[in-house]
Structure 1
């Protein structure tokens, strides 16, 4: 007997085995045949059961995600498809729709969270797939797609692209994005091959893979072409390339013409396409032979589809309306909507269009207040409501590449941009916030959106533009005076770089804890206040005066740069380093007795690693992390080699920082540099660990949980569950991970949890309660007080001591012994001065070396790592 599930199957997913041993997926150097893929899909389909259930899949560009996607289609279970790298969106939709099963994949494994054995939902027989509209994940509104929709659109795309079993598509878009999904469906329909990768087109490894596997096509959104320009794509030799597809937003006619010409010369085609999630991806395509003559059009309807133009009152152009077998069943906004059948028979696109003399359709505008930015459709009304919900009066508009939001009054603009990025699913770089004294309005009282758009246009114009005016008043951002010194100049001096752009930040420029000290103090003196997250803010955001975050209910406070104060706030980690090195050196010399600060600085190292070394991904991030390690290891090895030559206290193992592994077990002078070794070992281990793709994804997905897991692993040595013969390194991972967790604590419950872990785990570690109190106090300061007031008279010495703390630690071991018999105080002061001198020398050598390198090579690399993966 034929079951309901069998009737509900999508043919292209159910017929995988018909292609036998042809390659279906090539991933990480391994080939999965259609027969093997069908077997794995079948196994998971059987595991999902025979009763229809609602499934949510956190999808990534991995084989396991494709297996889960196909298994749901084969087994007839309706599937909510979500991006793996947006856990907040996943949690939101899981809460809204209460799926029966949640599937995740990581590290080659599929994880099934079966929340109930059956289903609590009434699911319409035609329902196959639920997608967020146009890739946006900021709303519970989903597109309901049927089995027929998926099959029909795959067939249509395969027809006009001429896909055959010999084709191989390199994946450049997320599986959860309807455009990326359409590539998968159309190729599996034809027995073609997916070259599965998460690499960006700016990564040379992508093109090595493309050539090695003889890929024939890749998909691109408009931003992809900007990246292709940067890497010299036009001159690339890609003999297997047959065509490029473009969708996800409007590509400028000039770019269409240019790439169509490049393709004509090099033997490949450019397919410009138009679609919406509501049409299962594609509604129109521009035949490649017409692209140079009509680059501004969307072309003709896809096979099986049709357009008509419906008149719009007051406009000469009509609204584009599409009909075809790929038109969605309708929208879902609640779980109850999943029981609905077809509620729409045609798709009103909301786009205004006209038909030209060649029979091609051309888009001329939008009927409603939606904009499509980097492939995501953004509801400007939702943008304004998101900010209104937190008490901010705002007006939103946008272009093809950015969302422009004007807000009344002074706010933390970076925080507002972050709220919007998370709420509507846009990359942070695609959002600009302009603070205005008041929003510009027309005579009717309505907001003047063109004036806001003109504000952004004037800012990005290549030629000077007059400030937009409304009536007799100017519409201009609230100014912020920054004195004669600039943020850019401070970054240039502190990081030894030139040609810094307004979109650079301290972290994207490769800043770390060593350069953080001097830069933060100069910025605080310049700006009058220093936001806690200043190291993540761009030059533009700092120079336009985003106010520092304030406690809820507290007014923002500002200080004019020239205003004198007795105290100035300073980053707590900076103060801990300065005070810590004095107490460490003084204790070693015998001037005082105050132990525990070295362990506080291990926690501070984890704190700063999380702040400065976790942005970006892949090889650029690893390179930046290893460079930071080298800034510790190289000066240390040079000095220890000098100490080895002038004393008899150290060994060759000390020089190469391997004493903890090769040195004596008993504590001797050879253990003097244990702290340096600990930091280098951990930083190297964390950098290598995060270079593993699935671990890196886990850290991004669970930024607070990840260091807590490391903390738990470290506790195995803390409580001697695991014993190692490295006496001084035992507490390192535990404390480093604790500092990491401090940096990732974003709200009150998380800070309370980390505080509790601090108070619970430190007692009993040493026999000295004073030492344990120092460790607890230092860690709790990091958690609860991001800055501390410092008398202005001692702020500069504090900065110098913090900057040179590592160098002071190194040199004091050979400076103080000859002097301690004369005066411990003299020995301490001499150690501090000698350390400062060595720090100055190392800084000058590093700057001289930096000037010999190609300018800003590291910065360009760091910036490329910030490109949003799916845009690339």
Structure 2
């Protein structure tokens, strides 16, 4: 019989490390001596009679104490996720003791179960949370695996590892076991690595290590981990799924640059946690390998099948599928991993496929994992599973990505017809609490919907407004490259079809846009303000009234729309493409109109044509100043685009989406207040003097909390007054921007909505055109001059929109592979002359 006291030293030998820190939390530090006292109290609380303990394994001091106390008292632990996720397991296994946030609930004095002496821990198998199937682990399993991990990682007593993974997940639990075994400290937190508070705690605790699954490294890329200064970091570990080889090499190189080691590891719950690791010095040259067996373990590759088989003291006792199985001893001697592997000449093992995930679809044997790998080579992050019908492959791809492209890549790669590939583009891929793919949730995506998909004419409506082709229900307005110029037209036409639109309709997939019963009409504040601002501009210039400030209000709103439509979760390249396209939609029609005015009327000089009058035009006099607003907007967009093209700035914006525009605004205040007295000696272009206002609008778009909105409001109230020396003009700008910050929509009517939408959608073109219209009429009738200017601008907007849509369709047609017939065409996979993937599934 195995002695628990001898087998699990990390649970019973805590006092040996005396006053060294054991658990570091935001609330303070607990030493090993204090932890030993708390664990001892838990041992006494649970008593000497052996019972089955169900523990909600959150990353908390109480959970760690309960886990260690149960092990030290030789009580088998059924570890489940916190928050009620273990209710199904509790019902299936009827634990004697339940420990959760509410405390210790002793259900019976003696166990209702026959518990094998070696049984120490019960964990859900990977991907089966909620299933009654459990992995049975012994004290020897826990001890051996913790010792092996501590040995190859070189864990030292002065190490401090953050709990970046949940404790109920075997990988997260192995971090706890191995570091406590070595007398190292745990930085105990349930914060995500995407949370700034995590890194504050990690730095304050002088963290030396953290662990991650592939999704963790997605988050690290988003928060700019490569640029972080972490002076005490010694090693980073990765397991829980395949990390793309190029990302392995990149993080290994990053670690080499910054002085920490990157360990890629391979394991399964059935092996307690780890079976193999890739020595860090080989990660850059052999990033596709899983490495070598952990100390005390060994591999063999089964002849014929190529399946990887593991042996070692950390191999589980066996599975449990019902309470009676808790009495079983060892039922397996080695672990058949289910992975197909090969052994390289350098002695490193490499996984090449997965036996259990093969699916047969329409006679073809498909490996979903290989489909994921090949999509990854094309820059698409996706999870794939066989559908419930057995006749389709379900692909969940992380957006933004074109589902038509994904479907075509899959059909070309594995020979399936397009009708058998169901692509779903999601903002975030379904994952289990451990961060692993949730294959059941992905498979459920293909289940028949309770409601029918949106009608095809809704997709055609998007194609018509945005001048593109191949729109599917998985697309959204933002993913299709929509911007502020097309937003108004799109929202107006959608409202006619669907009724009331939700505020975030532009980010929702088309399939989620459903007809709703019409209620009270409302008008989005940004649309109303654009319509009012352009009328104020034209009316003031035509002397119908005198209410200035409309152009500066439009500039602030341009920043608002920039943050809203362009700074999405898309990748950096996709973002830059959208910003550049939006820039072109402003600059090209402007240059075209100014060029026509020069040729036909001789109205302007060449600096105006190049939108450089504020740099090269005359200081005073002339008509070049007419287009100062367009020039300022174009110049600001060019500079902001250049900034976001820098990877570090892109990462900074993703990590601090509200803070970055505030910082840019603060920088702009240098020229707003002319702190260096530059303007009298040097002619500062409009964009230099006014870009702080664009940044305020940008920050308003990213203000997601009440405090954010208060900060933006304070910035508006503190910087706009005094700028013009005209309180009335300043009041217009302040009122408009504050309304934009605090009020999402205004009460309206259908007629008002239609008029506002037309004016707002044509605001840029009205601004361009009115300079050539109102001077010819205002001396006759100011109202007529205003109406004629608005009508001419609306007509120019219609012309530009028609041309842009036609060019957009031609461009989409040119990008479409020759011979392809759309997303449902099986012939598209046989098009000649296209690059094809090199592997083919075998027919059976």
Cα displacement string for residues 650-685 of structure 1 (whole angstroms, at most 9, x for unaligned residues): xxxxxxxxxxxxxxxxxxxxxxxxxxxxxx9xxxxx
Matched, 1:337 2:325: yes
Kindly state the Cα deviation for residue 24 of structure 1 after the two structures are TM-superposed.
0.4
Deviation at 1:429, TM superposition (A): 13
Deviation sequence 1:7-66 (CA, Å, 0-9, x none): 686222011111111110110141101110011111122112222222222222111111
Q: Equivalent residue for 2:283?
A: 291
Instruction: Provide closer, same or farther for how the CA distance between residues 275 and 527 of structure 1 changes in structure 2, counting only shifts above 3 A.
Output: farther
Q: Which residue of 2 aligns with 1:482?
A: 459
Matched, 1:83 2:81: yes
Does residue 144 (structure 1) correspond to residue 144 (structure 2)? The answer is no
Match of 1:177 in 2: 169
- For residues 794-805 of structure 1, the aligned pairs below 5 Å read none
Question: SS state of the match for residue 35, structure 2?
Answer: helix
In the other structure, the counterpart of 2:153 is 161
Which residue of the partner structure matches residue 93 of structure 1? 89
1:78/1:502 CA distance change after superposition, 3 Å: farther
Residues 571 and 82 from structure 1, CA distance in 2 versus in 1: closer, same or farther, beyond 3 angstroms? farther
- Which secondary structure state, in structure 2, belongs to the residue aligned with residue 112 of structure 1? strand
Q: How many residues align?
A: 515
Seen in structure 2, the aligned counterparts of structure 1 residues 425 and 523 have a Cα distance that, compared at 3 Å, is farther
Conserved? CA contact 2:522–2:749, under 8 Å: no
Which residue of 172, 186, 189 maps to 2:178? 186
In structure 2, which of residues 86, 108, 118 is the aligned counterpart of residue 116 of structure 1? 108
Q: Distance in 1 between matches of 2:112 and 2:335?
A: 31
Query: Which of 203, 207, 213 lines up with 1:211 in the alignment?
Result: 203
SS in 1 for 2:140: helix
- Between the aligned partners of 2:183 and 2:16, the Cα distance in structure 1 is 9
Q: CA offsets per residue over residues 322-368 of structure 1, 9 Å max, x none?
A: 00000011111222222211111111111111111111101111112
CA 45–399 in structure 1, closer or farther in 2 if over 3 Å, else same: farther
Instruction: Tell me by how many angstroms 1:227 deviates.
Output: 2.8
Distance 1:379 1:98 in 2: 35
Q: Secondary structure at the match of 1:482?
A: helix
Q: Give the drift of 1:169.
A: 0.8
In 2, Cα distance between equivalents of 1:487 and 1:112: 62
Q: Note if 1:326 corresponds to 2:318.
A: no
Q: Please tell me whether residue 103 in structure 1 is matched to residue 99 in structure 2.
A: yes
User: How far is 1:188 from its partner?
Assistant: 0.4
Structure 1 position 525 matched with structure 2 position 473: no
1:159-209 deviation digits (Å, cap 9, x = unpaired): 111112111112211111111111110000011111112233233333333
Q: Which shifted more, 337-346 or 418-427?
A: 418-427
Counterparts of 2:223 and 2:313 in 1: how far apart (Å)? 40
8 Å CA contact 2:521, 2:750 repeated in 1 = no
| Displacement after TM superposition at 1:530 (Å) | 8.0
Superposed displacement of residue 153, structure 1: 0.2
Match of 1:846 in 2: none
Question: CA distance change for structure 1 residues 289 and 524 in 2, over 3 Å: closer, same or farther?
Answer: same
Q: Deviations over 1:684-712 (max 9, x none)?
A: xxxxxxxxxxxxxxxxxxxxxxxxxxxxx
Residue 318 (structure 2) pairs with residue 348 (structure 1)? no
1:47 is aligned to 45
Is 1:307 matched with 2:299? yes
Alpha-carbon shift at residue 236 of structure 1 (Å) = 2.9
Which stretch has the larger CA shift, 347-356 or 618-627? 618-627
Cα deviation 1:355-401 (Å, max 9, x = unaligned): 11111101111112177899xxx9988x755xx7xxx9865467999
Distance 1:393 1:486, change over 3 A: same
* Structure 1: distance between partners of 2:480 and 2:167: 30
Correspondence for 1:725: none
Map of 2:271 onto structure 1: 279
SS at match of 1:350: strand
Distance 1:128 1:538 in 2: 52
- 8 A contact 1:503–1:538 mirrored in 2: no
2:245 maps to 1:253:
yes
Alignment of 1:30-45 (within 5 A): 30-45=28-43
The answer as to whether partners of 1:250 and 1:400 remain within 8 angstroms in 2 is no
TM-score scaled by length of structure 1: 0.50
1:82 positional shift = 1.7
Q: If the length of structure 2 is used for normalisation, what is the TM-score?
A: 0.51
C-alpha separation in 1, matches of 2:44 and 2:310: 38
* Shift in CA distance, 114/263, structure 1 to aligned 2, threshold 3 Å: same
Residues 414-448 of structure 1: CA deviation (Å, up to 9, x unaligned): 99x9999799985799959876999xxxxxxxxxx
Alpha carbons 1:57, 1:82 under 8 Å: kept: yes
1:631–1:524 CA distance, 2 compared to 1 (3 A): farther
Which residue of structure 1 lines up, in the alignment, with residue 705 of structure 2?
A: 625
Aligned 8 A contact 1:97 1:334 in 2: yes
Residues 1:541 and 2:509 are matched in the alignment: yes
Q: For the structure 1 residues 342 and 163, does the alpha-carbon distance in structure 2 shift closer, same or farther, using more than 3 Å as the test?
A: same
Q: Which runs of 5+ in 1 are unaligned?
A: 439-475, 490-498, 506-517, 549-557, 559-567, 576-617, 639-679, 681-792, 801-872
Task: Give the Cα separation in 1 of the matches to 2:290 and 2:423.
Answer: 40
Match of 1:778 in 2: none
Structure 1 residue 307: deviation in Å?
Answer: 0.0
Find the aligned partners of 2:289 and 2:422 in 1 and give their Cα distance: 41
**2:359 paired with 1:363:** no
**Aligned-partner SS, 1:102:** strand
| 8 Å CA contact 2:213, 2:436 repeated in 1 | no
**Paired position in structure 1 for 2:54:** 56
SS in 2 for 1:61: coil
8 Å CA contact 1:124, 1:338 repeated in 2: yes
Distance 1:82 1:294 in 2: 36
RMSD: 5.5
- Give the CA deviation at 1:503: 11
For residues 401-550 of structure 1, the aligned pairs below 5 Å read 426=437, 431=442, 481-484=458-461, 501-502=478-479, 525=495, 528=498, 539=507, 541-542=509-510, 545-546=511-512
Do the aligned partners of residues 207 and 354 (structure 1) sit closer, same or farther apart at CA in structure 2, a change above 3 Å counting? same
Structure 2 gap segments, 5+ residues each: 359-367, 374-381, 411-417, 467-475, 483-487, 524-654, 659-701, 719-741, 743-747, 756-844
Q: Distance in 2 between matches of 1:167 and 1:482?
A: 56
Task: Report the counterpart of residue 200 of structure 1 in structure 2.
Answer: 192
CA distance 1:422–1:69, change in 2 (3 Å): closer
Residue 131 of structure 1, CA deviation: 1.1
Aligned mates of 1:333, 1:487 — CA distance in 2: 56
In the aligned structure 1, how far is the partner of 2:351 from the partner of 2:55?
34
Mean CA deviation greater in 398-407 or 42-51 = 398-407
Partner SS for 1:297: coil
1:421/1:9 CA distance change after superposition, 3 Å: closer
Q: Which of 1 and 2 has greater Rg?
A: 2
In structure 2, the CA distance between the partners of 1:393 and 1:78, relative to structure 1 (3 Å rule), is farther
What is the alpha-carbon distance in structure 2 between the residues aligned to residue 199 and residue 102 of structure 1? 25
